[in-house]
Structure 1
Amino acid sequence: MTRVLTALVLAAALAAPAAAQTPSLKNPASLNEKAPATYKVRLDTTAGPVVIQVTRDWSPNGADRFYNLVKNGFYDDVRFFRVLHGFMAQGGMHGDPAIQRLWGRNNIPDDPVKQSNKRGFVTFAKTGAPNSRSTQIFINYGDNGNLDGQGFSPFGQVTSGMEAVDKFESYGRNNVPDQGLITAEGNAYLQRDYPKLTVIKKATIEK
């Protein structure tokens, strides 16, 4: 009997690490799957559907991060909070402050810029610091080649639904939501003070 119990305890101990690594938004390190060479993501937004074709070779770290976030529901019920028509539409901060705090500091390494930030191309936002991309993405409205030299590396392109992107709600350049308050309060802040923002109702990887 003692040997049986010992074996069971050992088996449970060996199984524990695998269980701890079950993919979860609450455990960023667990979302590390390599993305396919190409894949499509459908964003069902309140302005209409948008389909993004992702090419991993363009920006491998960016493509992998986007794949894992979409696959695990990160972008569901997320707003495009900074929409500047003629320039770009930016979103990707989670509506749950606890999740956003986890991911906001979970950055990925920079990728070389292989494609230009042309209209319809999709890119991760970043600060001026190296390796500062996390979850925020933007869709270019215009040909923003000036961003290329700043290290903004496109990972995908809108292949259908750009007319929906053109309808994303904007509060103007001088009334952009405060990212600190989004981190602190999540969707509650955005729903209260910016109720018309375009929402990603669901993001899915298309088969």
Structure 2
Amino acid sequence: MIWACGDTSPGDEVSETVAVPDTFRIEFTSSAGVFEVEFVRDWSPMAVDRVHELGRNGYWDGAKIYRVNERYAQFGYSGRPDLDARWIGAGLPDEPPRVSNIRGTVSFARGGPGTRSAILFVNRSDNTDLDDLQWNGVLGFPPVGRVVGGMDVIDALHDGYGEDPMQWEDSIASLGNAFLERRYPELDSITGLRVSGGGG
């Protein structure tokens, strides 16, 4: 798959094309420390292509890790409403799970059919029930990658708000980080990211 890409700010028009590699890594710097994820295109090709595009263009730089509980750590709203308006609704076709949602794997969050867009979650525990869960008419949550370094950072993320931020997703999308910083000031955030492998 070829994506347009270049040295741009998130949401800018892009200027060159790059081939999405079979595997690549993204190093996420967060307020809790650094963690690294290896993404595997064979596991969910369209979704991994999306990760590569968003990663190279810095989409998650500044994103709040707004849902943290014993099972998941979830992020994906960029914190910039204009950018989220472009990407959160840009859902991808569904793909079947090819590997299991064990601890350390990373998957896209979704609602109904064709809603995987930009929101990722890290499995903090073995969540194999997600492999064949029928949810809103779609089977399973296919992993797209796995944490290869810094799982202790995932374990250390602030989890005091639990599921509460999930009820405010419309406000998160429309108001951005200003809303989260006011209502949930202790949330951890992604403060930088770097793509490596396959020309990243």
**Shorter-chain TM-score range:** 0.7 to 0.9
Corresponding residue SS for 1:142: coil
The one of 170, 182, 187 aligned to 1:180: 170
CA spacing shift, 1:171–1:28, aligned 2, 3 Å: farther
Give the C-alpha shift of residue 30 in structure 1: 8.7
The one of 75, 82, 93 aligned to 1:98: 82
1:32-52 C-alpha deviation (Å, 9 max, x unpaired)? 965200111100011110010
Gap runs ≥5 in structure 2: 134-139
The one of 91, 101, 107 aligned to 1:107: 91
Which letter maps to 1:132? T
CA spacing shift, 1:189–1:112, aligned 2, 3 Å: same
Partner of 2:124: 141
- Corresponding residue pairs, total: 185
CA spacing shift, 1:174–1:107, aligned 2, 3 Å: closer
TM-score (norm 1): 0.82
CA spacing shift, 1:34–1:60, aligned 2, 3 Å: farther
1:8-45 C-alpha deviation (Å, 9 max, x unpaired)? xxxxxxxxxxxxx7766447999996520011110001
Partner of 2:182: 192
Amino-acid identity (%):
33
CA RMSD of aligned residues (A): 2.2
Structure 2 residue 148 is the aligned partner of structure 1 residue 164: no
Gap runs ≥5 in structure 1: 1-20
CA distance in 1, matches of 2:191, 2:95: 29
CA distance in 1, matches of 2:100, 2:189: 26
Structure with more helix by fraction: 1
Q: Would the aligned equivalents of 1:42 and 1:51 in 2 still touch at CA under 8 Å?
A: yes
Give the C-alpha shift of residue 175 in structure 1: 2.4
- Residue pairs, 1:20-169, within 5 angstroms: 25-26=10-11, 34-85=19-70, 87-127=71-111, 129-150=112-133, 151-169=140-158
